[in-house]
A = this chain, B = another copy of it.
Amino acid sequence: MATKGEITKEKILAKAESLILQKGYAGMTLDELLEETGLTKGAFFHHFKGKAGLAKSVLERYASNDYELFKNYSDQADRLSDDPLERVLIFIKLFEEFLNGLENPFPGCIFSSYSYEVRNFEPEIGDYIKENLNAWLDLYENKLGALIKARPPALPVTARELSEMIGSIIEGSFVMTLAMKDKSWTQRQSAQYRHYIELLFRT
């Protein structure tokens, strides 16, 4: 059962993530955060070890939710097909459908946001981001490795390179979504990546 404190803490974390994605960590003030949540200083400092502690908690929560989402789609793809190529394509397509189902555009990635103000954080925060990005890329790399093992690609590419590519495309698309105010951007570019994979492996 979620205690009253857990609910309050989650409300703070969700609002903080939203504010950080729109103003950055340094740009988000505690007063604004507390005003928008309807809470006070007392509540905040009871649950978090200062602003830096909040940043860490926001990051951990985001990393956990993010990994769970992709891990879910990865497993689902494996259940939906036995073909290594189809598994990769479905994995990617599931995320596209997820984006398409959102009423509001994806608000951005905490990993990216933190990375663009890395000097505001302790080095361990950067290490944590790196670890979690690697775990995310590993999900793609595993499937791409199986695919390469099953069929020779049309060009000499590694599973790592291809996993880094979809990671770059997604992160870059989030930036472009924000900058261009075009919420279908990520979906469109993810589809381009699927084209590339098909050309590489659909002999």
Contact = CB atoms under 8 A, between A and B. Distances in A.
Interface string A160-183: 011011011111111110111100
Given A26-B24, A165-B169, A199-B196, A176 B133 contact: yes
Interface residues of A, number: 53
B23 A119 contact: yes
A10 interface: no
Contacts of A111: 175, 179
Main secondary structure of the interface of A (DSSP, over half): helix
Interface stretch (A61-69, A85-93, A184-192): A184-192
22 contacts: A21-B116, A22-B117, A22-B119, A23-B117, A24-B25, A24-B26, A24-B116, A26-B26, A27-B27, A27-B117, A108-B116, A109-B175, A115-B178, A115-B179, A116-B116, A126-B181, A130-B179, A154-B199, A168-B169, A170-B172, A171-B171, A196-B199
The 10 A-B pairs of least Cβ separation, nearest first, read A172-B172, A26-B27, A168-B172, A24-B117, A171-B172, A199-B199, A26-B26, A22-B119, A115-B178, A115-B179
